[in-house]
Structure 1
Amino acid sequence: MSWAKELEELRQREALAEQMGGPDKVGRQHSRGKMDARARLAALVDPGSFREIGKIAGKGSYDEDGNLVGVLPAPFLFGKATVNGRPVVATADDFTIRGGAADAGISRKMVQAEKMAHEMKLPIIRMIDGTGGGGSVKTLEQIGATYIPAVPGWSDVVKNLDTVPVVALALGPTAGLGAARVVASHYSIMVKGLSQIFAAGPAVVDGLGESYKGPEDHQRAKEELGGSEIHTRNGVVDDEVASEAEAFARARHFLGFMPEHVGQLARRTKPHDDPNRREEALLSLVPREEKQVYSMRRCLDMVFDKGTVFEIGRLWGRTAITALARLDGWPVAVLASDPSYLGGSWDAKTSEKVERFVKLADQFRLPIVHLVDNPGFMIGREAEIAGTIRYGVQAMNAVYKATVPLASIVLRRAYGIAGSAMSNAETYQYRYCWPSGDWGSLPIAGGLEVAYKSDLEAAEDPAAELAAIRARLDKVTSPFRSAERFNVEDIIDPRDTRPLLCEFAQLAWRKLASEA
């Protein structure tokens, strides 16, 4: 006596699950330019590595004799897979079933995926397409009562943020809990024109008096309310890409820099770039004219291993560049000023971005390289209204709390409290300065006329006196005067930056390995 009959039913149920919401709804998903959930899982993970868990979960329908006639699968898929040969939990919402809403699903399935990640110490990837919440208003009539909101398993989402790398891909309209699941991540991506994120969609917002519900162009209404142009510029989501394929590639790339869990060290890749490479162009990168800008991203390309710079959050907090990169194969977190935007001054959003990035680096034990050209916090009425000093101090606090090794390179300016946030001054300062260095409590040029007001008023030729004062101070502000007093550790030839940072990376990872 075998169990062939039961296995036949199992295969039947699996086949029904693979139909998702049925040919019509799957076709509608594809007609919108979107991949279906199963195709997304296959495209994201290593070929053939996905092992689905709970495939036949859903709502079965039976005839009067109790025989199975159909199955509405749960609108959430998950399983164990590998990415770059390393194990992960891969999940995907199925928009073809009730728009991915949880009222058509089984809440325990999503909770189990989150539990699997932190209990088995596996990175988790969420591909989110739908609400994923409590369902529609019509659900209340079916229940016969309303309820106080609660999110089953949210404590597991929180545990994952403390335990493993969490990547979220918004791959369609995501509202309510779906939006929350995107944001509760270490790295998030939206697809331009395909993804939208909102606390509530256009129809609900319309009911509250804002006009976003355009029946003639519902897609435009969704974009105006919560498109990637909004959320990748306000910091809700890290990055914007042009296609789902690009989103999958960036998710895989990000995980390539990460350990599999907190407590494990990230991996070095086989070095492919000479650690002693010296770029001549670095010698003339910083202009002599103090108001001229230059490309910090060009500097990154010359200093770090070729082709390894992976920028995160390029469209928000734009006065700071945050990236992952490698030095002689060792992974590092990169924080760099961008003098081409607001002169490099940290505003509130930049400070928020810096704080979040430094905390990420510290949590996953990635050494930090900080390339500094910071004239200070943004000043003026708008900066005060935005609460810049509060966000700025929180960024500095993150730097001071970080326990991973940090090396700073002062390319040009380092002024005020923001300039002092380059590193923790109470610890060993692993720091190098270029001859173009210019630092102090405040920019000399901005304080001359105030500091020497009485001298200038008494002078027969105030302009000549101001020029003479400026000439004297130019000598005092030479970086070599600071080096005489060991206020800076070393002034270096800019061309030596890469070899010295590769040395830092080797020492930093030696220290991290001793702590593991």
Structure 2
Amino acid sequence: MSWQPEVDELAYRRRLAARMGGEDKVERHRAAGKLTVRERIGQLADAASFREVGGLSGSGRYDSNGRLVDLIPSNLVMGRASIDGRPVVLVGDDFTVRGGANDGAVGDKLVHAEKMARELRLPMIRLVDGTGGGGSVRNIEIKGHTLIPTMRVWQHVVENMAAVPVVSLALGSVAGMGAARVAASHYSVMVRETSQLFNEGPLSVVARVGQTVTKHELGGSQVHTRNGVVDDEVPTEQEAFARARRFLSYLPASVHDLPSRLAPTDDPARRDEWLLAAIPRDPRADYAIRPILEALVDRDSFFETGRQWGGAVVTGLARLDGWPVAVIASDPSCHGGSWDNASADKFTRFVDLAQTFHLPVVNLVDTLGLQVGIEAEAAGVMRQGVRALAAVYQTTVPWCSLLLRRAYGVAAAGHQHMGRFNFRYAWPSANWGALPIEGGLDVAYKAEIEGADDPVQKRAEIEQRVRSLTSPFRSAEAFVIEDIIDPRDTRALLCEFANLAAPLREAGPTRFGIRP
């Protein structure tokens, strides 16, 4: 006698699980403009590559003879798949079953998925669409007791942040532990208008503290991509999948590997003539940093992250002669490139990403330092600033700094690790110092200016005299700067850096020390 009856039952159970929450709930889910969890996996992963794990889990209903009558599947789908030919671990909430509340046995599946990613050294991708925590208040009556919040999965979430690339897509209303899982990622995305993220849910919890708002007002992407909880927002789920795939293309499968080079498609010696006039002669004039950045890296390779927050710092992944690198750039159009708390935090987090996954860093510098004034001091920007400095001085990855214009104050002091050998170049437009001449002249020459017959004239004379000494060529004579370059030669030098840095990269885990 064969085991055909059991194989038939296996197929039957899988058909029941494929119904998810049932036809009505699936249609209601789609009517809200959202894909089902299985449709999401099908569109994100390579065709026919998903190998589900735990697909038989759920709540079965049996007749008096012990035969299966119906099955409500667990609301977490997980398994292994391929993305662009590279294996990954995928885990997705099924909102059509109990709103994606990941309690009970589903918590075991969450833990299993995170452990699978770490032990197999594969990227973890989370498709989050639910609370991902203890479920609803109704669960108290079902269980007959309450639970202490423990988040058994959190040890594995934290360990994975130091071991494998983690990407989370918020694809619906996510709250509690679901929201925490989104934030605990190297890269996270929300879908504009259809996804929200809350510290706690539902809205009735918020109403009890005297606040009446809509879901979108409370936790829409326009909130969390501006405060740094989530990296990016996109208009559709399909765009979220595309951004997840692209982010992963720059990173290794785990810290035990090195980022892969793609076949170069752009001339390393390309010279863009317009770079010669890219920096205005007026030191107070703004300019667009992103076109400069995109001109220096391989064409169409710049992938910006976190554009909506920490605006004084631009961060993203790119390629130089095919090699993946982490790119940081000051944005002088935002507070003159001066760091506030968010900018310093963004800088720190991105430096940590580069260090964790062995990405050489390219840093384009034009900053007046940390922000000044009553608000900046009250916000404690110095603490975040020195944490950023600590992050730089804990790096071991190769580093190349390009001083475009201003390099002043504490923020500029962290343009590279001064205790190591690093590449560093300056454009002829560069100038630097402990603080800008404009801010320090009146203090340093106060008596001389106030004692003059014409203080305005005297100040102008002093400023002209001091400025004559701030030429980068004067600093080059004293070997304060290693080299001043024609802006049009920058790309060739950056590609040289990437090729020299590639064999210096070392695979393995990274450890950070305590920071201020």
- Shorter-chain TM-score bucket reads over 0.9
Cross-structure match for 1:52: 52
Contact kept? 1:98, 1:104, Cα under 8 Å: no
Contact kept? 1:276, 1:499, Cα under 8 Å: yes
Cross-structure match for 1:205: 206
1:457 aligns to 2:458 (yes or no): no
Match of 2:351 among 354, 358, 375: 358
Cross-structure match for 1:268: 261
Cross-structure match for 1:492: 485
- Aligned to 2:103, the other structure's residue is in SS state helix
Cross-structure match for 2:327: 334
1:382 aligns to 2:383 (yes or no): no
Aligned-partner residue type, residue 291 of structure 2: R
Partners of 1:515 and 1:179 in 2: CA distance: 29
Residue 63 (structure 1) shift: 1.1
Cross-structure match for 1:216: none
Cross-structure match for 2:20: 20
Residue 78 (structure 1) shift: 0.7
Cross-structure match for 1:511: 504
Contact kept? 1:75, 1:105, Cα under 8 Å: no
Deviations 1:280-328 (A, max 9, x none): 1110000000111111101011100000000000000010000000000
Partners of 1:48 and 1:278 in 2: CA distance: 44
Name stretches of at least 5 consecutive residues in structure 2 with no aligned partner. 510-516
Cross-structure match for 1:111: 111
Distance 1:397 1:49, change over 3 A: same
Partners of 2:347 and 2:82 in 1: CA distance: 31
Distance 1:116 1:280, change over 3 A: same
1:40-119, aligned counterparts within 5 Å? Answer: 40-103=40-103, 105-119=105-119
Residue 180 (structure 1) shift: 0.9
Residue 476 (structure 1) shift: 0.6
Aligned-partner residue type, residue 204 of structure 1: V
Partners of 1:64 and 1:231 in 2: CA distance: 51
Cross-structure match for 2:512: none
1:130 aligns to 2:123 (yes or no): no
- Aligned to 1:17, the other structure's residue is in SS state helix
Contact kept? 2:257, 2:508, Cα under 8 Å: no
Aligned-partner residue type, residue 363 of structure 2: H
Contact kept? 1:276, 1:498, Cα under 8 Å: yes
Partners of 2:321 and 2:65 in 1: CA distance: 68
Cross-structure match for 1:215: none
Partners of 1:118 and 1:514 in 2: CA distance: 16
Name stretches of at least 5 consecutive residues in structure 1 with no aligned partner. 213-220
Residue 463 (structure 1) shift: 2.0
TM normalised by structure 2 equals: 0.97
Cross-structure match for 1:438: 431
Partners of 1:56 and 1:428 in 2: CA distance: 55
Residue 208 (structure 1) shift: 2.9
1:17-416, aligned counterparts within 5 Å? Answer: 17-103=17-103, 105-201=105-201, 202-212=203-213, 221-416=214-409
TM normalised by structure 1 equals: 0.97
Partners of 1:512 and 1:353 in 2: CA distance: 23
Q: Which moved more, 1:240-249 or 1:450-459?
A: 450-459
Partners of 2:255 and 2:503 in 1: CA distance: 18
| Percentage identity across paired residues of the two chains | 54
Partners of 1:290 and 1:115 in 2: CA distance: 53
Structure 1 vs Structure 2 CA RMSD: 1.2
Q: Which moved more, 1:253-262 or 1:96-105?
A: 96-105
Distance 1:281 1:298, change over 3 A: same
Contact kept? 1:304, 1:326, Cα under 8 Å: yes
Residue 515 (structure 1) shift: 9.0
Aligned length: 508
Aligned-partner residue type, residue 210 of structure 1: Q
Partners of 1:146 and 1:85 in 2: CA distance: 45
Deviations 1:331-387 (A, max 9, x none): 000000000111110111000000000001000000000000011100001111211
Contact kept? 2:94, 2:100, Cα under 8 Å: yes
Aligned-partner residue type, residue 477 of structure 2: E
Contact kept? 1:123, 1:166, Cα under 8 Å: yes
Aligned-partner residue type, residue 248 of structure 2: L
Residue 514 (structure 1) shift: 9.3
Deviations 1:159-188 (A, max 9, x none): 111110000000000011111111111110
